[in-house]
């Protein structure tokens, strides 16, 4: 690190803003939920720790806790468990995009409550009421990733 940086420490939030500006991708998208309320979807690389924990727990849930059924492996002949599709949890159909929204927009208890009785967290309910749809989250992340890839591709051509 240069001496210049040592004399002028940068706050972490400013550093993240500078990096995203330099790299040319969105750090986040802020959604207008109405009545002056907003919710910010960060780039996954910039999740705050509590959101990252909920996201990782969501990924763990999606890979380990969904309903499965036995299937005979056509090559080995051994029986293995595969997820039932459409996805189910305790016999009930689930929407994986909606579960992602619940994980990101809610709390740990909101996620469990949603799985039990489909109660939507307050922020997610406002997001839906404002015209949001669950698939927007992955679409926004894909857009952020594409922006970064385009920037990296432009930089590689100019060197």
Instruction: Name the residue range of residue 99's domain.
Output: 26-140
Flag whether 147 is in a domain: no
Flag whether 7 is in a domain: no
Flag whether 149 is in a domain: no
Helix (H/G/I), strand (E/B), else coil: 107: coil
pLDDT (tens digit per residue) in 45-84? 889 999 999 999 999 999 999 999 999 999 999 999 999 9
Helix (H/G/I), strand (E/B), else coil: 8: coil
Flag whether 15 is in a domain: no
Total structural domains within the chain: 1
Flag whether 35 is in a domain: yes
* pLDDT band at 158; cut points 50, 70, 90: low
Flag whether 10 is in a domain: no
Nearest to 35 by CA among 133, 146, 129: 129
Looking at residue 25, its pLDDT comes to: 64
Q: How far apart are CA 132 and CA 141, in angstroms?
A: 15
pLDDT (tens digit per residue) in 96-106? 999 999 999 99
Q: Locate 112 and state its tokens.
A: 């469990």
Flag whether 45 is in a domain: yes
């Amino acid at each position: 690190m240069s001496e210049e940086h040592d004399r002028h420490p940068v706050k972490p939030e400013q550093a993240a803003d500078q990096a995203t500006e330099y790299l040319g991708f969105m750090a986040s998208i802020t959604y207008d939920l109405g009545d002056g309320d907003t919710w910010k979807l960060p780039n996954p690389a910039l999740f705050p720790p509590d959101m990252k924990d909920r996201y990782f727990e969501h990924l763990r849930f999606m890979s380990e806790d969904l309903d499965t059924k036995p299937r005979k492996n056509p090559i080995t002949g051994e029986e293995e468990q595969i997820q039932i599709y459409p996805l189910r949890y305790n016999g009930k159909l689930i929407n994986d995009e909606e579960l992602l929204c619940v994980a990101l927009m809610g709390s740990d208890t909101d996620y469990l409550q949603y799985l039990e009785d489909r109660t939507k967290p307050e922020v997610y309910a406002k997001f839906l009421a404002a015209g949001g749809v669950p698939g927007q989250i992955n679409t926004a992340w894909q857009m952020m990733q594409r922006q970064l890839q385009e920037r990296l591709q432009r930089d590689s051509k100019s060197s």
